[in-house]
Amino acid sequence: MRFDLLHPREQLVQIMGRIYRYGLTTTSGGNLSVLDENGDLWITPSAVDKGALQQRDIMCLLADGRTSGVHTPSSEYPFHQSIYRRRTDIRAIVHAHSPALVSFSIARKIPDTRIIPQAHHVCGPVGYAPYALPGSQQLGENIAATFAQGFDVVLLENHGVVTAGPDLLTAFQRLETLDFCARTQIQAHSLGPVHTLSDGQIARFERSAPALPSFQAASHSSHERALRAQICHMVRRAYDQRLMTSTEGTVSARVDEGRFLITPYGIDRSHLEVEDIVLIEGGRAEAGKQPSRATRLHHVIYDQHPGVHCIITAQSPNAMAYAVTGKALDSKTIPESYVVLRNVPLVPHGLQYEAPEGISAAITKNSPVVLIENDTVLATGASVHQAFDRLEVADFTAFSLLSTLSIGPLVPIGEDDVRELEAKFG
Ligand SMILES: [Zn+2]
């Protein structure tokens, strides 16, 4: 779907719906705007239920100074106007009060986007605007002055966050990615210090998308078409479960010996269609499509593990708390998690680019899920369903273990109990 071809009213309704559904704002909080080429500013209304916004509710501040629409524009419109005046490259603004980002704003700390390279790629560095009364001219000046320094993402002291971009989808992706960083760091806090990536490690990621040679797919079997639909279904489900964001997360599935399907690079995970999925054959990609940056890693795993038919890489905040602190995710404490996950090895950051064989070697019958430091959770399976189940179990297990830390000491099952489990479940 070409989001940029939608009318600003439709764009604002869609994105506000996503923000509300993902718990990034309440019914009364948050506001969004899009600046039209002719200078008209389309903006969400004040005091209208954000969970049930309709196109007719959107307000327009016309370039000639008049206002059009059936409501009052958001009371925070002055800061939107101030940002557009100071940064002519910005055409869309998102403001929200997500609980995780509000937590950072009242602790007066900035979430670190260097915890995974993709987050830094989407958000860049984060600016910080000092407190001023909501809706005031002073708040507008504080925020616009921070954007004028070149930031695209600005945390508002004791308030929330503002993100911006050349279009509304980009501004939204910056909000959800920064929120992911904040949630991951909150979850990781009880485990110990969070590791962050160096400039060199981030630069390595930026260089990691070499173009593959292409081929024209002559025909598509029914088996391949069924797999395309399963991949799209699971990506949308992972997105709805917040195991992926709109810019992060990859699913692939083996078609036959030598061929697999993989999700594309740079397409919104919540709107993935079967034609977006890329067929890979002998190291070549289906013509006209750009496969995920993780294609080489998936290729190596399929070559070395004939029993693996699906691979999912995702950034779910609970499991990622372990991947950004380097702490062991011990599934043995929860018997039914141990049966599904067995041991969850942690492999060093950088192997995904330099030596994917090292990650492939960590995958065994007794370790079908692997954490890659400051990068991803990687789940494999004999089917799309099994890989997805393992990803979900890994994140749920991590969530339970992290929650335990705040209510009392974690009591593991005994070694004899573990041996009994292994004997019963192979
Ligand atoms: Zn606000």
pLDDT digits (tens, 9 = 90+) for 224-240: 999 999 999 999 999 99
pLDDT over 90 at 207, yes or no: no
pLDDT digit string, tens, across residues 76-94: 899 999 999 999 999 999 9
Range scoring the smallest mean pLDDT among 179-193, 286-300, 310-324, 407-421: 407-421
pLDDT at 409 (0 to 100) = 87
Out of 37, 76, 248, 354, the active site residue is 76
Give the chain's domain count.
2
State whether 330 and 382 are in the same domain.
yes
Question: Over pLDDT 70: what percentage of the chain?
Answer: 100
pLDDT over 80 at 204, yes or no: yes
* Ligand 1 midpoint to CA 31 (Å): 8
State whether 225 and 156 are in the same domain.
no
* Ligand 1 midpoint to CA 97 (Å): 6
pLDDT at 20 (0 to 100) = 92
* Ligand 1 midpoint to CA 9 (Å): 21
pLDDT at 52 (0 to 100) = 86
Per the CB < 8 A criterion, the answer to whether 82 and 143 are in contact is yes
Residue with tokens 């101030």: 82
State whether 162 and 277 are in the same domain.
no
pLDDT over 80 at 210, yes or no: no
* Confidence tier at 260 by pLDDT (50, 70, 90): very high
Looking at the domain assignment, is residue 193 inside a domain? no
pLDDT over 90 at 48, yes or no: no
pLDDT over 90 at 49, yes or no: no
pLDDT over 90 at 131, yes or no: yes
State whether 235 and 181 are in the same domain.
no
* Ligand 1 midpoint to CA 76 (Å): 7
* Ligand 1 midpoint to CA 386 (Å): 42
| Domain coverage including residue 179 | 3-188
pLDDT at 303 (0 to 100) = 96
As a whole number of angstroms, the distance between CA 76 and CA 95 comes to 9
pLDDT at 1 (0 to 100) = 73
State whether 42 and 182 are in the same domain.
yes
Residue with tokens 């929330």: 160
pLDDT at 87 (0 to 100) = 96
Q: At a CB cut-off of 8 Å and minimum separation 6, what does 5 contact?
A: none
* Ligand 1 midpoint to CA 109 (Å): 18
pLDDT over 90 at 254, yes or no: yes
State whether 136 and 233 are in the same domain.
no
* Confidence tier at 26 by pLDDT (50, 70, 90): confident
pLDDT digit string, tens, across residues 97-114: 999 999 999 999 999 999
State whether 226 and 278 are in the same domain.
yes
Taking all residues of the chain, what is their mean pLDDT, rounded to a whole number?
94
Question: Taking the CB of residue 198, how many other CB atoms lie within 10 A of it?
Answer: 10
* Ligand 1 midpoint to CA 75 (Å): 9
373 a catalytic residue: no
State whether 301 and 234 are in the same domain.
yes
Residue with the larger pLDDT of the pair 412 and 284:
284
State whether 178 and 89 are in the same domain.
yes
* Ligand 1 midpoint to CA 160 (Å): 6
| Averaged pLDDT for residues 235-256 | 94
Q: Which of 188, 206, 236 is the last residue of a domain?
A: 188
State whether 56 and 178 are in the same domain.
yes
- The CATH number of whichever domain residue 109 belongs to comes to 3.40.225.10
pLDDT at 30 (0 to 100) = 87
Task: Tell how far CA 399 is from the center of its chain.
Answer: 17
